[in-house]
Structure 1
Amino acid sequence: MSLAPYASDPARSRGRRHPEPPAPTRTDYQRDRDRVIHSTAFRRLVYKTQVFLNHEGDLFRTRLTHSLEVAQLGRSIARSLGLNEDLVEAIALAHDLGHTPFGHAGQDALHAALQALGPDGRAPDGWGFEHNLQSLRVVDELEERYPAFDGLNLSFETREGILKHCSRHNAERLERLEPGGVAARFLRGGAPSLEAQLCNLADEIAYNAHDIDDGVRSGLLSLEQLESVELFDHYRRQALREHSQLQGRRLLFESIRRMLSDQVYDVIAATRGRLRDSGVASADEARTQAALVAFSDAMRERSRALKAFLFRNLYRHPQVVETTGRARQVIGDLFTRYLAEPGEMPEAHGQRRHIERAVADYIAGMTDRFAIREHERLFGSVLFP
């Protein structure tokens, strides 16, 4: 399919930090996607938590299945908008590579541990912990696959899309290391590529849908509760009008399917309108605008209401909170122990110059089950029977 004029063209990429000859059969973005898929960090995502811990059930989403769903949604929308599907897929598959074990609970615990260091409340290098920034660290530094450089040496456009959020402090640090690079927009204004914007939205669409599914599967949410959520209940009632016999799992799946489809069509229609009204004619022009890939105003409000419902009823459910409390303890205990006894980590980590960051990198790279086993080994307590 031909690209729209405002799509990211790999022939006009800003390139890689370490120059490499082009691949004979693949574009730069296809090459990025392939490097992500073959990375160690990508394989680990299969045992990293989305909402429910990995040991709680075989059918709950993991970071890997979530990333695949984001890639599928992103490619479908990109195809309709004339955007670069390969770049969307590369960003989608890489966007969670830096997530800690135990999802956001692990991230919060690791951030708190780093922030507690030093008289100014900051870790020695001033970074704290941000999972988007850690994803960038993974592809820029931590993967060890090539003889000539650290990381995966991805293209600028893929790296830009991975860095979805960034605090000003961290953006300033990245800008000093890479002037005018992937963090510049957080300091100077502007937006990332349309493909990166699309991945952000596909991420939201995916987790809203699959958290409903996993929440009901777990027994923490019920279809009756979801009747109070306009975005979901509209499609539940629509499904029942056409298939009055539907109930249980089939009703849930059909409602989610319709909700996903309508959100995809809404993004396509709303984005086409914004692109037309803005008059952008190139990928660089699109970066100078406010975000152009977005829901309609009405769908945005319904999506926000759904997220608020999930926050109250799923993410803050007492059973989830109790489990994430134990997860935070695992991360906090491991950080303290490794910092005091670096020899408990593999030699390559324990001998790094900045031991605090080495500990954070080691823990962030763990899967849920490895972190649990390490905690049991070091402390002799079983927090997750």
Structure 2
Amino acid sequence: MSVGMAAPRAPYGCDPDRSRGRLFAEPPSRTRSPFRRDCDRVIHCNAFRRLKHKTQVFVFHEGDHYRTRLTHSLEVAQIARALARQFGLDEDLTEALALAHDLGHPPFGHAGERALDACLKAHGGFDHNAQTLRVVTALEHRYPSFDGLNLTWEMLEGIVKHNGPLTARDGAPLPRYHERGLPVGITDFVKTFDLELWSFASLEAQAAAIADDIAYDAHDIDDGLRAGLFELDDLKVIPAAERMIAAIDRKYPGLDADRRGAEFVRELISYLISAVVAEAERQLALARPQSVDDVRSAGQQFMMFPPEAAEAEAGIKAFLKEHMYRHARVMSIMKDAEQIIVDLFARYEQDPADMPDEWREGTRQVTGAVRARRVGNFIAGMTDRFALMEHQRLFDSTPDLR
């Protein structure tokens, strides 16, 4: 089947009519499947709207055309739906997972996450996947009968396990969690609603996860070129990129830099999607899963890059780390951003009265981990803009982040 053609519904995809349900029982919608309902709830929640003012790499005021967490999430959803359509998966569930995957990110991108993790080190640290789970199960307050969005089991599974299992079948944490243990938000929640942390997630979740990689690889290159942090020809150190650039130059000699860069980004996305499709088709043909439970218990990911594309993708990540994420200009801004988060955390933890009424209520009466986590939840929900405004309100001097 050629890439882009819709496949018939696959037996190994999630069937909305066979969903494992929601933590709080609700009557079915007359017009929407359970997974479409999940997607709509994500789109309409407060945390999703806040993504428009949360950093991807560049702080919101650095330019109107750089990605934010919101535009990144929309781009992930577009790629994820293309993969779902190719394999006959449930597109609504795939889109919902793609749109929700960054709901737990704090302000200022990974700098904010590092700072909050340090602030909460004594209380289990900060993990953005666990925070996304908190957002959709507790922190959104939109419904009269429950906190959170009351999403389906399949949706929550995908949020928690889109990068693979967290434990062995006996419940022992996998090696990447040996040092710090499982994220506390996840361990607490699965006591109430078992997400089977030992199994792999659905193909819908796997599609959303690899779409995230494809989107930020390609679009961070686009933003880095726009910001002048590197030139397109600098990417020629990556053999696959060198071949793509050479092909563009042969087809469009003399193309201006902006269009040349945009064409490269398109070619890169097409290359990575096609590579994933080919490898997933091969892996599925070998394993021959006949149900979504076969996928969960297969002991492997199916949505993956083949070796050559995996090498190219790793090369892109390494390039971006050196030339963009660790660029002196970016690092200087992110260092100041981390300090803003540290300052706010210390201030609110010492005096919860400085927080808004809805967060202040009850915080004074608790101490230790409970207070720290409540402060962390408040800061994690901030936009870049609000964090800056709060720092300006509470401190005599605030970094400009430029």
Report the TM-score range of the alignment, normalised by the length of the smaller protein.
over 0.9
Pick one of 131, 153, 158 that aligns with 2:155. Answer: 158
Classify 1:172/1:345 alpha carbon distance in 2 versus 1 (closer, same or farther; 3 Å).
Answer: closer
- Contact (CA 8 Å) 1:159, 1:182: kept in 2 or not? no
- SS of the equivalent of 1:26 reads coil
Classify 1:246/1:209 alpha carbon distance in 2 versus 1 (closer, same or farther; 3 Å).
Answer: same
- Contact (CA 8 Å) 2:200, 2:297: kept in 1 or not? yes
Q: Residue 214 of structure 2 aligns with which residue?
A: 205
Asked whether 1:148 is paired with 2:145, we answer yes
- CA–CA separation in structure 2 for the residues paired with 1:363 and 1:28: 31
- CA–CA separation in structure 1 for the residues paired with 2:280 and 2:292: 15
Instruction: Give the aligned residue type for 2:297.
Output: T
Q: Residue 369 of structure 1 aligns with which residue?
A: 385
Asked whether 1:41 is paired with 2:47, we answer yes
Instruction: Give the aligned residue type for 1:224.
Output: D
Alpha-carbon offset, residue 182 of structure 1: 5.7
- CA–CA separation in structure 2 for the residues paired with 1:173 and 1:159: 12
- Contact (CA 8 Å) 1:231, 1:259: kept in 2 or not? no
Alpha-carbon offset, residue 245 of structure 1: 2.5
Task: Mark the runs of 5 or more structure 2 residues left unpaired by the alignment.
Answer: 1-5, 167-176
- CA–CA separation in structure 1 for the residues paired with 2:391 and 2:93: 38
Asked whether 1:378 is paired with 2:388, we answer no
Classify 1:59/1:191 alpha carbon distance in 2 versus 1 (closer, same or farther; 3 Å).
Answer: same
- CA–CA separation in structure 2 for the residues paired with 1:14 and 1:96: 24
Asked whether 1:112 is paired with 2:118, we answer yes
- CA–CA separation in structure 2 for the residues paired with 1:333 and 1:382: 10
Q: Residue 62 of structure 1 aligns with which residue?
A: 68
Please say which of residues 253-262 and 239-248 is displaced more in the overlay: 239-248
Alpha-carbon offset, residue 356 of structure 1: 1.0
Q: Residue 126 of structure 2 aligns with which residue?
A: 129
List per-residue Cα deviations over 1:177-234 (Å, max 9, x = no partner).
434956532xx3x311111111110000000000100001011111231222223222
Number of residue pairs matched by the alignment = 373
Pick one of 268, 275, 279 that aligns with 2:284. Answer: 275
Instruction: Give the aligned residue type for 2:273.
Output: V
Q: How does 1:325-344 map to 2 (within 5 A)?
A: 325-344=335-354
Q: Residue 322 of structure 1 aligns with which residue?
A: 332
Q: Residue 299 of structure 1 aligns with which residue?
A: 309
Asked whether 1:310 is paired with 2:320, we answer yes
Q: Residue 346 of structure 1 aligns with which residue?
A: 356
List per-residue Cα deviations over 1:31-72 (Å, max 9, x = no partner).
000000000000000000001111111110000000000000
Alpha-carbon offset, residue 265 of structure 1: 1.1
Instruction: Give the aligned residue type for 1:365.
Output: G
List per-residue Cα deviations over 1:91-122 (Å, max 9, x = no partner).
0000000100000000000010111xxxxxx2
Task: Mark the runs of 5 or more structure 1 residues left unpaired by the alignment.
Answer: 116-121
List per-residue Cα deviations over 1:213-271 (Å, max 9, x = no partner).
00010111112312222232221111111111313011111111011111111111110
Alpha-carbon offset, residue 295 of structure 1: 1.1
Alpha-carbon offset, residue 355 of structure 1: 1.6
Q: Residue 29 of structure 1 aligns with which residue?
A: 35
Length-normalised TM-score, structure 2: 0.89
Please say which of residues 349-358 and 239-248 is displaced more in the overlay: 349-358
Q: Residue 247 of structure 1 aligns with which residue?
A: 256
